[in-house]
Every structure is written in structure tokens, then in C-alpha cells.
């Protein structure tokens, strides 16, 4: 992934002995990084099952997990002493660790990685959750409304911070330009300034994007004149990509009443800004309060994380690296970046789950961000489901 040294985990297995019990079959996980270093984790099938229940129990309770509780809660059919031996091997492989205050164990970043890549099952969403997705997103309006609803919904489904990237509009084209007359100052005694006409400039793209700006134009402009301006600018820009539209607007020459020259210059500049806004990558975010509710999962304070997620450029860069990540979880279509893998972005105590969606052929990502202690199975399923529904909804529109 780019230049950062994030681990990739390859899975292999072998049977140490032809007579070895099924649960003692050994798995080898090779961990490689972009830098020249390599580590190998060796653990039995039962050890992996122990790791799975440690992750699940710790995520559910926030309490370190001991061998006795594993024996009491799960049907391993072996003694607590045997489970302790398995846990000791997991600890040697740095998959679990002992916090200072307890004899129980908690997963490490490496342990979460093995769990996510090889042990987590994506639980299907409940009928109620699926109905919520269809109902909540089915009543959306334009692209801005769709994405705003998507992050709110995803945050509610996962209890994490939800992030949605606007579709890349490098291939989007101008569908229509609209000018709406809002009012005219009449130059009366109550109005100390010159006569001005206020309009709403609306730029609509074929990907569903809508960019609006209010503009105060010099002079009095009626509906007929505004219609003439609308027709001229649509002729100049409709059907062009954002880059082409920017070039066309920069070269736009007004041939008409000289009295409208200043107004045309302002409209041209405003449309140029609107085109530029559609060419910039941006994110919508919801659920930051969920981080505060899980503050106990962060060492020290959660505020450095809150500050980090305010930097959209950083989050977009992380999304960009995850888009090329080879560690997508099999056919499940969800990329997961865990703990210290996010250190280059100031998010070393968080996990980020993301999946891609499309809007009229334009690609973007959505996902969730939260503490490493999260319900990966549920959250991965929710991210995947919302991404798929969003692609379908935007494709229909």
C-alpha cells in the first residue's frame, strides 16, 4: 500500500503429523511488509478458535478474557490448563497480550488482523436492518442528500464514525446550468446601494451532483434576459467534462448588450468556482460522537483522533491507499486497515473499514472508523450492504 509499511497476511496450512488430532493441525500465517522484513505465525486450529472467542468476548465485554471464562462460555471440551497453554502460544506469536490490570488477555493489532482475514464471518444483516437501508435511502433526493443519508444510516448501523467519499467527478459532465431569479433591489430610499439582481446559479452534472451559489449581479435583470444568459452558458458548457467546462468558461466571450458585461463576468467566475468544486475530492462524515462514547478504548485521550479525522485530505489519502489494498477480505469486498497500520495517518489506535461504490461509472469509497475493539463481522457486513445499495440507487438515478 503506497510507501507505508503495512502488513500483508498470506495463509497456508499443513498437518504436522498424519496422526495429529484435527484441532492440532497447524496453520502458518506469513506476514510480509513493503519493507524487507518478514514474520511467520504458527498456531494450531484450536489456537485459532481460542483467538476467535477472545476477540469476540473482548469486543462484547471490553473485559480481558481468561482461560476459565473461555472454558465456562465455550464448548472446547478441554481443561482450562489446556486453554492456558493455547493462550500462551498465541501470546508468543503476539496475537494476544496481557494488559497491566488483569491476568486475562486482549487481542493485539496482529490478532485482530488474523481474525479479520481468516476467522471473521460476515453476519447477514437482519430483515429490520435491510428494511431500514431501503426505507431511509429510498427517499433520498439529489446526490448530496443521498450521501448525507448514507453516512447517518451507516453510523447508526455500526455505532462508529461513518465516512462517504463523493464520487470522483473526473469523468462527470455538465448536464444543465440553471439560473433562478431570487429578487432585485429597487434602488429606493431604503436601499443605499446600487440596483442589484440576486440569482441562484445551479450546476448539475450527469453523475447527480448539484452545486449551488447565490450571486448578486449589478443592474436590473429580468426573467427574459436571465433566460438568454442561461441559454448561452448551457450552449457553452453542457456535455463537457469538468476539465473541458473549466476551459470553455475561461474562454467564454459575451456577445450582446454591453450593459450585461459585468454581470456576465460574475456569472462566468461563479460557474468556474462551481466546476472547480465538482473536481475536488471531498468527504461526508457522521457519528463523531460515537468516538467519545468509546473513549475508554483509547489510551489517554480520544481528542487526537477527533483532530485527525477533521483532516479530509488525510482521510482521502487513507481511502486512496485502501482502494489499492490487496488485503481485501476475500470475495467480501471490504478492505480493513487496523491499528498501527494507520499510524502514518495519525490513527494508530483505530480501525478503518471501507468498500467501493459507483455512481454513473465514477468510483468512490465509503466506510467506518472506530477503535480497534469493534464488531468487525457486523460492521463489515453493514459497510458492504450500504455500498451495494448505494451503487444500485445511484445507478438507477
What the block records as the C-alpha cell of 53 is 472467542
Tell me whether residue 314 is in a domain.
yes
Q: Which helix (H) or strand (E) holds 215?
A: strand 210-218
pLDDT of the residue at 371? 96
**Number of helices and strands in the chain (H, E):** 13, 13
Q: Which helix (H) or strand (E) holds 149?
A: helix 143-158
Q: Nearest 10 degrees: CA dihedral of 12, 65, 98, 48?
A: -10
Residue 131's alpha-carbon distances to 136, 137, 152, 396, in angstroms, are: 8, 10, 15, 19
For 21, the domain range is: 8-119
Angle between helices 45-61 and 80-92 (to 10 degrees): 90
On whether the CB atoms of residues 205 and 238 are closer than 8 A, the answer is: no
Nearest to 96 by CA among 107, 109, 110: 107
Q: Both 370 and 347 in a single domain?
A: yes
- Please, what sign has the CA dihedral across residues 51, 53, 56, 61? negative
Q: Both 254 and 285 in a single domain?
A: no
On whether the CB atoms of residues 157 and 135 are closer than 8 A, the answer is: no
Tell me whether residue 230 is in a domain.
yes
Tell me whether residue 318 is in a domain.
yes
Residue 164's alpha-carbon distances to 147, 149, 298, in angstroms, are: 7, 10, 24
Q: Both 28 and 63 in a single domain?
A: yes
Residue 271's alpha-carbon distances to 145, 196, 268, 320, 395, in angstroms, are: 22, 19, 5, 28, 26
Angle between helices 143-158 and 127-138 (to 10 degrees): 160
Split into its structural domains, the chain has a count of 3
Residue where the block lists cell 446526490: 143
Tell me whether residue 3 is in a domain.
no
Residue where the block lists cell 454591453: 258
Q: Both 381 and 243 in a single domain?
A: no
In this prediction the pTM is: 0.72
Q: Both 273 and 217 in a single domain?
A: yes
Tell me whether residue 131 is in a domain.
yes
Q: Which residues, other chains included, contact 292 with Cβ-Cβ below 8 Å and sequence gap of 6+?
A: 302, 306
On whether the CB atoms of residues 139 and 393 are closer than 8 A, the answer is: no
R_g over Cα of the chain: 28
pLDDT of the residue at 342? 92
Q: Both 160 and 285 in a single domain?
A: yes
Q: Both 18 and 93 in a single domain?
A: yes
pLDDT of the residue at 33? 37
Q: Both 19 and 96 in a single domain?
A: yes
Residue 258 is classified by DSSP as: G
Residue 344's alpha-carbon distances to 162, 196, 309, in angstroms, are: 20, 51, 13
Nearest to 257 by CA among 286, 218, 283: 218
| pLDDT tens series, the chain, 397 aa | 444 444 433 434 333 433 345 445 666 765 543 333 456 778 888 999 999 999 999 999 999 999 999 999 998 889 999 999 999 999 999 999 998 766 799 999 999 998 988 877 777 788 888 888 888 777 767 788 889 999 999 999 999 999 999 886 666 789 999 999 999 886 555 556 688 999 999 999 887 778 899 999 999 999 999 999 999 999 999 999 888 898 899 899 888 888 899 999 999 999 998 888 766 678 899 999 999 899 889 987 888 899 888 888 889 889 888 877 645 544 468 899 999 999 999 999 999 999 999 877 777 899 999 999 999 999 999 999 999 988 888 875 5
Q: Both 273 and 335 in a single domain?
A: no
- Max distance between CA atoms of the chain, in angstroms, equals 101
- Please, what sign has the CA dihedral across residues 150, 153, 155, 157? negative
Amino acid at each position: 500500500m503506497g510507501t507505508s509499511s503495512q502488513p500483508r497476511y498470506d495463509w497456508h496450512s499443513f498437518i504436522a503429523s498424519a496422526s495429529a488430532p484435527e484441532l492440532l493441525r497447524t496453520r502458518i500465517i506469513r506476514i510480509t511488509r513493503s519493507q524487507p522484513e518478514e514474520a511467520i505465525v504458527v498456531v494450531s486450529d484450536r489456537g485459532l478458535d481460542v483467538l476467535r472467542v477472545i476477540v469476540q468476548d473482548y469486543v462484547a465485554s471490553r473485559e480481558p478474557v481468561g482461560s476459565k471464562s473461555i472454558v465456562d462460555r465455550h464448548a472446547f471440551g478441554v481443561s482450562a490448563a489446556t486453554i492456558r497453554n493455547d493462550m500462551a502460544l498465541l501470546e508468543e506469536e503476539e496475537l494476544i497480550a496481557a494488559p497491566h490490570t488483569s491476568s486475562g488477555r486482549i487481542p493485539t493489532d496482529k490478532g485482530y488482523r488474523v481474525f479479520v482475514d481468516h476467522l471473521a464471518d460476515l453476519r447477514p444483516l437482519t430483515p429490520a436492518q435491510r428494511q431500514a437501508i431501503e426505507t431511509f435511502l429510498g427517499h433520498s433526493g439529489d446526490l448530496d442528500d443521498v450521501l448525507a443519508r448514507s453516512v447517518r444510516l451507516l453510523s447508526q448501523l455500526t455505532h462508529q464514525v461513518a465516512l462517504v467519499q463523493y464520487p470522483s467527478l473526473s469523468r462527470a459532465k455538465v448536464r444543465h446550468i440553471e439560473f433562478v431569479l431570487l429578487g432585485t433591489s429597487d434602488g429606493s430610499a431604503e436601499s443605499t446601494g446600487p440596483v442589484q439582481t440576486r440569482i441562484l446559479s445551479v450546476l448539475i452534472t450527469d453523475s447527480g451532483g448539484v452545486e449551488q451559489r447565490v450571486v448578486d449581479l449589478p443592474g436590473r435583470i429580468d426573467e427574459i434576459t436571465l433566460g438568454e444568459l442561461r441559454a448561452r452558458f448551457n450552449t457553452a458548457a453542457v456535455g463537457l467534462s469538468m476539465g473541458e467546462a473549466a476551459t470553455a468558461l475561461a474562454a467564454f466571450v459575451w456577445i450582446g448588450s454591453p450593459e450585461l458585461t459585468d454581470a456576465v463576468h460574475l456569472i462566468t467566475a461563479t460557474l468556474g468556482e462551481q466546476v472547480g468544486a465538482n473536481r475536488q475530492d471531498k468527504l461526508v462524515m457522521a457519528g463523531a460522537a460515537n468516538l467519545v462514547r468509546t473513549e475508554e478504548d483509547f489510551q489517554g485521550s480520544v481528542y487526537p483522533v477527533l483532530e485527525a479525522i477533521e483532516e479530509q485530505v488525510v482521510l482521502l489519502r487513507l481511502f486512496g491507499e485502501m482502494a489499492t489494498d490487496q488485503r481485501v477480505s476475500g470475495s467480501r469486498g471490504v478492505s480493513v486497515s487496523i491499528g498501527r497500520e494507520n499510524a502514518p495517518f495519525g490513527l494508530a489506535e483505530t480501525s478503518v473499514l471501507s468498500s467501493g461504490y459507483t455512481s454513473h461509472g465514477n468510483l468512490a469509497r465509503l466506510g467506518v472508523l472506530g477503535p480497534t475493539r469493534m464488531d468487525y463481522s457486523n460492521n463489515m457486513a453493514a459497510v458492504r450492504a450500504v455500498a451495494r445499495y448505494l451503487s444500485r440507487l445511484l445507478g438507477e438515478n
